[in-house]
Amino acid sequence: MDFGSKTVGVAISDELLITAQGIEIIRRQEENKLRRTLARIEELIVEYEVEEIVLGFPKNMNDTIGERAELSLEFRDKLERRTGLPVTMWDERLTTVAADKAMMEAGIRRERRKDYVDKIAAVFILQGYLDRRAHKSDNAGG
C-alpha cells in the first residue's frame, strides 16, 4: 500500500508472489480520519485472502524519518491492531517518481497521471518487496 494524506494506493500480488498488480485507490475524506479507509482495507483483505500487508515507508533521502514516515508507522499500528495481519514496512523512496516516469513513458497525459500515481506507486512498493523476497529465497536454496 502507498499511504498518503488523501489517498491509499493498493496493489495485490498474484498467488505465486511473483508480480504485483494495482487494484484500487482508496480516496480519504479527511487526513486524520481512517475509519472508512480501514473498513475498505478489511473488505479487500477478505476479498483477496490477504495474509500479509506491505506498507510503503516514506523515509527521507538522507535515511531519516520525517512526519510522513511517522504517520505511516501510526497507520501500520492501526492496521495490525484492526486486521491482526503482519504489516511489513518497505522503503518507498522514489516510487512516486518511478510511477510518474512509467506513466509518462506510457503516454499518459500529465493531468491524468495524478489519478493513477498512488496505485502505480503501490505496485512499485509491492513489486520491490516481492523481488527481494524471491532473491532471498533463491540465495537460501543454493
The per-residue pLDDT for range 32-53, each reduced to its tens digit, is 789 999 999 999 999 999 999 9
Task: Provide the domain count of the chain.
Answer: 1
Q: How confident is the model at residue 76 (pLDDT cuts 50, 70, 90)?
A: very high
* Residue linked to cell 537460501: 140
The pLDDT score that the predictor gives to residue 70 is 95
Pair 11, 123: CB distance under 8 Å? yes
Tell me the CA distances in angstroms from 39 to 83, 89, 108, one per residue in order. 10, 20, 31
The pLDDT score that the predictor gives to residue 141 is 58
User: Residues of 79-89 as b/e, b for ≥16 C-beta within 10 angstroms?
Assistant: beeebeeebeb
What predicted TM-score, i.e. pTM, was given to this entire model?
0.86
CA within 13 Å, CB half, 31: 6
